[in-house]
Chains A and B, each alone.
Chain A
Amino acid sequence: MDFMVFQYPMITVQACLDGILLGILFALIAYGMALQWGVMNIINIAQGDLVILGGYIAYFMYLYGIHPAWGVIVAPVIMYFLGVIIYKLVINKVVDRDLFISILATFGISILFMQLMNFAFGADVVLANSDYGTTMLFNNNVVLPNSKLFSAFISILFAICLVIYMKKSKLGRAIRATAQNARAAKILGVDTEKVYAATFGINAALCGVAGALISITFTIHPYMGLPYTIRSFMIVIVAGLGNLPGVAMSGMGLGVFEEFADYILGTEFRIGSVFLLLVLILVYRRFKLSRKREYLK
């Protein structure tokens, strides 16, 4: 236990800013999760692995001398098609089945991806260096890498674009209609199969963007996927489906929580504290709901 974070206000400011910038990235991944959960009613355990895969796309561009920031454009395109392929091969068979089946099937995909990435890229922790430099604030007491600012900016940009797309475009309308009532949408001539494929593709593309940004800002590793899945799941259940400001807020909250957990408990307990927080949130939710149920009785 180390409480230095409370004794020096600048460290607190640093942790908060880091956490918020990190949380914006989490919120982007969680938005994809909320989208597919709301539309297709599946929980994708492979979400985090899609993120890591997007990160490796940016890393590879970096290896071949292209600036990794272009990965933000290339990764979603590749990931969109990959998402559609995964949908056609696996997900379309679990869409209208029990949720546990979808969890287990995507767990299988997750293990598969993890190992394939391990083969393809090796088990090293890698980072695509963007050479963006750093910004100093408050008399050089708070250090913010520009790459973090860049990634937060791009995340917000993508999120806004997607919201506008969902509101205005024909496909966006079809997706929202399917989310409300798949059967009615089908009767009214929406090709739900196509909508599902597009939804999963968009989710994978969002993961790709987030992954590319993570590879620039932080580090990536083939086995690091599951924590991202759990984080996005947690953000979605705290915010609720289809509540975009809620997703953004709880994403940032989670980011700040993690930074503080990192400072206070030590880095080795960081992931553990995320998973423990998930359990606590679910248990809290259960007691809240059960009180409501008793009230209804």
Chain B
Amino acid sequence: MSKNNLILYSGILIFGLAAPFLFPAFKVQLSILCVLIVLATTWNIQGGEMGYNSFGNILFYGLGMYLCASVQVGMFFPLAEWTESGGEKTFVHTPAQFFQGMAVGLIVAAIVPTIIAGLIGYSILGLRGHYFAICTLGLGVAAGEISGGIEIIGAGQGFTTPPFPDVGSLEARGEFFYFLSFFTLILTFIAVRSIYSTRFKLILNAIRDNEDKAEAMGIETMKYKIIGWMISAFFCGLAGGIMGGLVGYIDSTDVAFDGREMGVFMVLMAILGGKGTLWGPIIGATIFHIFKEGFWTFFLGWQYVALGVLIVVIVIYFPEGIMGWLREKYPERFGEVVDEKDRKAQVELK
């Protein structure tokens, strides 16, 4: 099994490293896919494993996006004048400034949402079930509406992130963002995988299955819930920072705090692949992205109609997702011991 795993992982790694050179036209799409996988996987930490279905991770994503871009600009130029001038570039980053700013910006974009998640976690995570879901939905939308009224980050007219500096090759921008998001993806995967092999995951599952009992067993549920949410926030902020640079333009409600799109996409991707599994969100995100891009390209204008129908269909007919379906079909592969007699008896009953 572990030998198979090694082959699988190295295969994916090699494919990932070669992909931008094999499919140069799809570099941006592949980078977005990496970001989507990061979002779905980290949503799954508290949505799938912990049972706290949040629509509000978009808050950290949007925060990360604004923070990364603001730091990148603010380190070298006055931020207010930058947003004032809008699309017209009065200030130009040199390559060194750009990469320095990006590095610091990404660190800030990851750390600050984590701290915010820790601060608001105690109040928000005390809510249960649908109250939590609606509360986080409110948080995400409120953040979007409020950031749309703040002048220094561009208010309603948006915020242009620093353009990629001229470093010689035309392909450099795509390759830079692809490898940035791909390495973030690898980092996320390693982190999530190692989290899932510890006792921490079992505690999260205990919270999901019965929080009161978990508390009665002596687990400090609140502490673990907050930690779980902070881990999500960390990677969401990071993903947001990268996405901001990739898109090149930040709008408060359409790009950053886009609860209607990205906020639902995260949930949907994780559910499509299978909540509470390691590979589910990855598969779900990949399928979803392919579907989405296909639809966005060939049926422009109808994409939201398709999205609405897709959400309803997935939620009603495939609430267990692809991994859940596979698990039901081939339980042995997932390490579940199946009693042959039991299975035969079930078949006879049908």
Contacts and interface: CB of A to CB of B under 8 A. Distances in A.
Given A113-B308, A268-B149, 13 more contacts: A90-B312, A94-B315, A97-B319, A100-B53, A108-B311, A109-B308, A109-B312, A115-B308, A226-B260, A275-B142, A279-B124, A279-B135, A279-B139
B127 interface: yes
B141 A108 contact: no
Contacts of A104: 264, 267-268, 271, 311, 315
Interface in B296-328: 301-302, 304-305, 307-312, 315-316, 319
A162 interface: no
A283 B124 contact: yes
Contact of A283 (B123, B142, B307): B123
Interface in A253-272: 266, 268-269, 271-272
Interface string B195-239: 000000000000000000000000000000000000000000000
B320 to A, nearest CB: 11
Interface string A100-116: 11011101111111111
Contacts of A233: 134
B304 A282 contact: no
Interface residues of A, number: 42
A108 B308 contact: yes
23 contacts: A94-B316, A100-B53, A100-B129, A103-B133, A104-B264, A104-B268, A107-B311, A108-B310, A111-B260, A111-B264, A111-B304, A113-B308, A115-B308, A119-B305, A230-B134, A233-B134, A268-B148, A275-B138, A275-B139, A275-B145, A276-B142, A282-B134, A286-B127
A95 to B, nearest CB: 11
Interface residues on B, range: 35 or more
B130 A279 contact: no
Nearest to A42: B130
Interface in B104-146: 123-124, 126-127, 129-131, 133-135, 137-139, 141-142, 144-146
A293 B200 CA distance: 26
The 7 A-B residue pairs whose C-beta atoms are closest, nearest first, are: A112-B308, A108-B311, A272-B145, A275-B142, A115-B304, A111-B308, A108-B312
B11 interface: no
Contact of A99 (B130, B149, B271, B308): B130
A100 B130 contact: yes
B24 interface: no
Contact of B130 (A103, A105, A226): A103
B156 interface: yes
Contacts of A268: 145, 148-149, 155-156
A105 B139 contact: no
Contacts of B145: 268-269, 271-272, 275
Contacts of B138: 230, 275-276, 278-279, 282
B305 A115 contact: yes
Nearest to A43: B130
B308 A266 contact: no
B53 to A, nearest CB: 5
B307 A111 contact: yes
Interface in B253-270: 260, 264, 267-268
Contacts of B156: 268
Contacts of A290: 126
A107 B149 contact: no
A103 B123 contact: no
Contacts of A173: none
A104 B309 CA distance: 12
A108 B127 contact: no
